[in-house]
Amino acid sequence: MNLVCVPLRYPLPRKPPEPIEITDWFWNFNDQYHPGVDTSSLETPSYTYTHIDIYKVTMQASSFGCAKNVEKTFIVYPIPFSDFTFTPNYTGVQGRTIFNNGSIYATSYLWDFGNGHTSNVEDPIEVYEHDSIYTITLISFNEYGCSDTSRYNLNVFFRGLYFPTAFSPNNPNYEVSRFVPKGINLAEYQVQVYDLKGNLMWESDVLDENGSPVESWDGYCNGLLMPEGMYVWKAYGIFRDGTEWKGSDLQYTNPQTNGTVTLIK
């Protein structure tokens, strides 16, 4: 038997068609709020819609007189506007700050208080414990996942100068046994204590590195313990931010730069 070899004939691979070069584009953004300026002939244009609505965008691509249209419909959702104000020393407490949210078109919030603390509360209250300039960040979100961010700086500066109303030199507790001025962030300071006859009993102007008074009066003058009774103090202070101490309001309705202290034996 003779075998005959018949060659198999496979179809030759087709050559892919040459890509057609697009020569012209025409975009119509169909913005009914700005007719006449809502078209473009760029290949990759950008367009900003200013109203929340449903839009149908059409694009016509042309190549040597042949054209094809493509259209897409999409929704422009609202973008939230993030903004806020703040009130330092809220309710008279230094470092306590309330933040008032002024965001528009927002449903949820993320606060960063700049001190390592965060919050999702709409109008939060934060208590700062140290002097510093803190950058407060608010990110406001809407129900569509869109967000906007606002930032402001908050300068926290603690200041104060206070004096006790009584002390007892024979008390074993140091804070009770002396007339101890308390203060913070003072740049200049002086306090003087007089008896009711106007004689100077004690004075000091010494501050430490924190701007706090260092010295205190033990009730003695010229080596002798003064009699039990009322004494008058007067003081002066300038804080490191240049503001003047207006006086203590612990003994009086209105702040005073002088007051009385009672020596108790």
The domain spans of the chain are 24-76, 84-156, 160-263
Q: What is the mean pLDDT of residues 149-169?
A: 96
What 3-state DSSP class applies to 175? helix
Of the candidates 185, 81, 177, 178, the one whose C-alpha atom is nearest the C-alpha of residue 130 is 185
- Neighbour count for residue 234 (Cβ, 10 Å): 16
Of the candidates 238, 158, 157, 232, the one whose C-alpha atom is nearest the C-alpha of residue 190 is 238
CATH of domain 160-263: 2.60.40
85 sits in which H/E element = strand 84-87
Q: What is the mean pLDDT of residues 10-18?
A: 60
Nearest-10 Cα torsion for 180, 200, 195, 258: -60
| DSSP assignments along 121-162, one per residue | -SS-EEE--S-EEEEEEEEEE-TTS-EEEEEEEEEE---EEE
Note whether 98 and 90 are within 8 A (CB). yes
Tokens of 91: 């309710």
Residue 34: phi and psi, rounded to 5, are -140, 60
- Is there a common fold for 84-156 and 160-263? yes
Tokens 């006790």, residue located: 164
The secondary structure of residue 207, as a DSSP letter, is B
Residue 251 confidence (pLDDT) above 60: no
pLDDT value for 21: 80
Name the β-bridge partners of 150: 138
Please tell me the class of the 84-156 domain: mainly beta
Taking the C-alpha atoms of residue 248 and residue 252, their distance in angstroms, rounded to an integer, is 8
Tokens of 190: 């002086």
pLDDT value for 19: 64
Tokens of 92: 């008279």
Query: Residues near 145 by Cβ (< 8 Å), separated by ≥ 6?
Result: none
pLDDT value for 1: 40
Taking the C-alpha atoms of residue 111 and residue 122, their distance in angstroms, rounded to an integer, is 9
Q: The pTM is what?
A: 0.71
Tokens 């709020």, residue located: 33
pLDDT value for 256: 87
Q: What is the pLDDT of residues 65-93, one digit of tens each?
A: 788 899 999 999 888 999 999 999 999 89
pLDDT value for 93: 93
Q: What is the pLDDT of residues 194-233, one digit of tens each?
A: 999 999 999 999 999 999 999 999 999 999 999 999 999 9
